[in-house]
Structure 1
Amino acid sequence: MLRGSLYSAVYWGVIGVFEPSFNVHLQNLGITGSQIGLLGAILPFLQLWVAPLYSGWADRLGKRRWMLAGALLAVAVVLFLFPWARTFPAVLVLSFLLALGRSPTVGLGEGVSARMAARHGLEYGRMRMWGSVGFGIIAILCGYIWSRIGTTSMFPAAAVMALLAALAVGFLEEEPPAQGPAQRFPLREIRSNRVIVVLLIGSFLIGGALWLGVIFGGVYMTDLGGGLEMVGITVGLPAFLEVPAMYLSGRLVRRWGGTKTLLLGYALVGAYFLGLAVVKTPMLALLMALLRGPGFGLFMVSTVVLLERNAPPGWAATVVALMSSVSFGLAPLLSSPLGGWIYQHLGPQTMFAFAAALVGAGALALWWGREKPAPGSGPAA
């Protein structure tokens, strides 16, 4: 538990250093909303293709830790170079390279951590919640610092954190490589598993909405008159609220069942986007953001746990990476450019209403495709 929690805290700390203020940095460089939307589509595009292929390769070789550490080292190198990117073409090139290294890290890291937790009889949510703690503390602290010394300094700081994350990979446990028939990607088994298919559909829809919040949440806060301190608080404070949701997620899944737990998470995320569609002050936007934390916590942990339980033997990391590529790859790839256009031409309120509609569609898909428990099987089924 301690080793898995440490890796999670350090890894998500890397993201907390630069991601909340990244698009504000781009805006300060003179990059337009449509261009920000285009840049925001790069990581989802690469997650769609790179994450499952890279994780599948790691599963076959049994080198998950080494390949995860290598990707994090590549992220560190690119982050060191980012302060010299001052034009859109330069930012475009480095954003592509950063996304190339970063794209497999979430799915591979979460898959390895979830398997390690299951192997030792631990609750994955209680391990993953320390990632939210690390992200929240660092996001709030860095928002305060970058508002005073400038956003350029966040890149070398994030690079150092990425190096520490690469070292923290050593605390995770490796599994043997997939053997025998499992050497082939189990597409047929995945397609025939109702639970996995429904989770992927719901993750696709809510992932597109969440990515719009990542890209434009900080930009909208500055448009409302909030500074980088408010951007950091808006991103970091909800991360702390992910902690109780992640801590309790395993218990809720056992008591309510996976579908109801996920629907609660979807409802909270949808309320967050609906709130942003109507509020017009920084403080009210911050209050709406408080709903996102527990909503995302329930969504992320419950989805990963259910995927790990239903994955074909030896392919847990790959199936989780597939979810990552769908929810943070394919869906954002489609929603990001459209969201950028809506934000620039129709206004932020319309864009956030669009995001809420995506979450609602995901909730309907989960409810429609839910499995009916057998008579007398209880809610945990």
Structure 2
Amino acid sequence: MGNLLKAFSNPFYRTSSLEILLFFVGWGIWWSFFQIWLTTKQGFTGAQVGTIYSFGSAVTLVLMFVYGSLQDKLGMKKTLLKFIVVCQIFVGPFFTWVYVPMLAANFYVGAVIGAIYLSIAFLAACPVFEAVTERLSRRYSFEYGQARAWGSFGYAVAALCAGFLFTMNPYLIFWTGSVVAAVQLVVLVALSPEKNAALTSQYEVQSETLKESKTPSFGEIIGVFKLIDVWKMIVFVIMSWTFYTVFDQQMFPEFFTRFFATPEAGQQAYGVLNSIEVFLEFLMMGLVPILMRKIGVRKAILLGCTIMIVRIGGCGLVTNPLGVAIIKLLHAPETALFILAVFRYFTLHFDTRISTTLYMVGFQIAAQVGQIIFSTPLGALHDNIGYQSTFLVISGIVCVASIYAFIVLKKDNESVEGQPL
């Protein structure tokens, strides 16, 4: 409790936490039901849903590198965040008057237009908010995991509300996202503790400020692609974290709702499960940094892999909704371990000045590449052999990725070129 009160006394922690909470509320209110909306309200097949996700991943792939490079150049400035939030305000009008008519008129054109907008406003934006928060945490003396936890809490609340809004009127989830984005824009403009010299001098870590003062050159940013250790991480992420979206967003929602007598009952149950799951993720975000200090970053990543294998494989074996729901809750520690440990791996072994680009390229972009590779084939596989057999295939792929990670990941005391543990 003392540590929590100390964290809240830091205005940089409070502001960063509020910003990331609002982002995840505005995203989660519609994203948590996006796959269900595509299948039950728009009537798309698994292969078509896979195509929509693949198009989104392809655009996000390019945009993430652009966003990462821009943010590394901007450093602590929130100009890019404000642009993103302005785009998010239009999510309600976009889904109501643009996306649905275009998908009906020409599926592929609609999928491309949707991919461009959703990537600009949400899909490529998530890691920018995370990276800015992580950078602020190092500079202004607070724990990144504790701030990122509020994002998970926001998503949990949003998912719970979305389950009820969706059954009332599916378009409510998108318009609620617009309202939340408008609130966030006010917060971004109004709250700027970094402009207060007294607060800055009280909380600033001088060594981090000195690093940030040396803005990385474009050559240093592009040089990320020349690092063999980054490519090792890219291969690992493609074979593992890729399935966070393929399994959790593209497949699991409809799979779970099929256990219930009516679609409405299933959708509300899924909303409740999703909110419980992400609330647990909120708790784990605060606990994983403590765990990492005890077992190390490398072991934390490997533990995340083990949980993913059990979780996805378990959903392929269990045949009742309660059992599936319990296994799905393992998502909470898995997500916290992957997000925090992988980010810490980059800031431990690489130059922290290009942390945003490293996180984008080595984790987020790699996952998008994986989604492009796997989304449509696994969607088609599910159409042919069903959800549960497909889950076992995914679990097998992650098992191979875990063995690969055990071999290639650096130990915590090797090549420490960033911020030491």
Is 1:151 the equivalent of 2:185?
A: no
Partner residue in 2 for 1:224: 259
Is 1:106 the equivalent of 2:105?
A: no
TM-score by length of 1: 0.89
SS in 2 for 1:41: helix
Shift of 1:271: 1.2
SS in 2 for 1:224: coil
Name structure 1 gaps, 5 residues minimum: none
SS in 2 for 1:322: helix
C-alpha separation between the residues in 1 aligned to 2:403 and 2:174? 40
C-alpha separation between the residues in 2 aligned to 1:331 and 1:178? 35
Aligned residue type for 1:138 = A
C-alpha separation between the residues in 1 aligned to 2:91 and 2:161? 23
Is 1:326 the equivalent of 2:365?
A: yes
Of 35, 60, 83 in structure 2, the residue corresponding to residue 23 of structure 1 is 35
Partner residue in 2 for 1:161: 180
Shift of 1:95: 4.2
Of 235, 242, 246 in structure 2, the residue corresponding to residue 208 of structure 1 is 242
Q: Percent of pairs identical after alignment?
A: 19
Partner residue in 2 for 1:8: 20
Change in CA separation of 1:300 and 1:325 when aligned onto 2, cut-off 3 Å: closer
Partner residue in 1 for 2:204: none
Bigger relative contact order (CA 8 A; separation at least 6): 1
C-alpha separation between the residues in 2 aligned to 1:39 and 1:244? 32
Change in CA separation of 1:133 and 1:10 when aligned onto 2, cut-off 3 Å: same
Instruction: Name the larger-Rg structure.
Output: 2
Residues 114 and 308, structure 1, Cα contact 8 Å, conserved in 2: no
Residues 129 and 246, structure 1, Cα contact 8 Å, conserved in 2: yes
Change in CA separation of 1:190 and 1:31 when aligned onto 2, cut-off 3 Å: closer
Shift of 1:257: 1.1
Shift of 1:134: 0.9
Partner residue in 1 for 2:150: 130
TM-score by length of 2: 0.81
Change in CA separation of 1:291 and 1:181 when aligned onto 2, cut-off 3 Å: closer
Shift of 1:282: 2.4
SS in 1 for 2:252: helix
Change in CA separation of 1:137 and 1:316 when aligned onto 2, cut-off 3 Å: same
C-alpha separation between the residues in 1 aligned to 2:372 and 2:231? 20
Aligned runs of 1:79-94 on 2, under 5 Å?
79-84=92-97, 85-86=100-101, 87-88=103-104, 89=106, 91-92=110-111, 93-94=113-114
Residues 274 and 352, structure 1, Cα contact 8 Å, conserved in 2: yes
Q: Deviations over 1:13-59 (max 9, x none)?
A: 11220112112111122212111111111222122111112220232
SS in 1 for 2:166: helix
Moved more, 9-18 or 197-206: 197-206
C-alpha separation between the residues in 2 aligned to 1:167 and 1:33? 39
Shift of 1:253: 1.8
Q: Deviations over 1:194-218 (max 9, x none)?
A: 4x44443332222221111211111
SS in 1 for 2:249: helix
Alpha-carbon RMSD across the aligned residues, in angstroms, is: 2.7
Name structure 2 gaps, 5 residues minimum: 1-12, 196-208
SS in 2 for 1:184: helix
Residues 71 and 104, structure 1, Cα contact 8 Å, conserved in 2: no
Change in CA separation of 1:97 and 1:188 when aligned onto 2, cut-off 3 Å: closer
Aligned runs of 1:164-243 on 2, under 5 Å?
164-170=183-189, 171=191, 179=214, 182-188=217-223, 191-192=226-227, 194=229, 196-212=230-246, 213-225=248-260, 227-243=266-282
Change in CA separation of 1:359 and 1:51 when aligned onto 2, cut-off 3 Å: same
C-alpha separation between the residues in 2 aligned to 1:261 and 1:63? 28
Residues 269 and 359, structure 1, Cα contact 8 Å, conserved in 2: yes
Residues 238 and 294, structure 1, Cα contact 8 Å, conserved in 2: no
Shift of 1:283: 2.3
Moved more, 170-179 or 35-44: 170-179
Partner residue in 1 for 2:10: none
Residues 307 and 334, structure 2, Cα contact 8 Å, conserved in 1: yes
Q: Deviations over 1:244-284 (max 9, x none)?
A: 32112222222211111111112112211011111233222
C-alpha separation between the residues in 1 aligned to 2:369 and 2:57? 6
C-alpha separation between the residues in 2 aligned to 1:64 and 1:308? 20
Partner residue in 2 for 1:117: 137
C-alpha separation between the residues in 2 aligned to 1:69 and 1:251? 32
C-alpha separation between the residues in 2 aligned to 1:353 and 1:51? 30
Shift of 1:177: 7.8
C-alpha separation between the residues in 1 aligned to 2:94 and 2:157? 25
SS in 2 for 1:215: coil
Of 336, 341, 356 in structure 2, the residue corresponding to residue 317 of structure 1 is 356
Shift of 1:156: 0.9
Shift of 1:181: 5.9
Aligned residue type for 1:326 = I
Change in CA separation of 1:192 and 1:218 when aligned onto 2, cut-off 3 Å: same
Partner residue in 2 for 1:35: 48
Change in CA separation of 1:11 and 1:328 when aligned onto 2, cut-off 3 Å: farther
Tell me how many residue pairs correspond in the alignment. 376
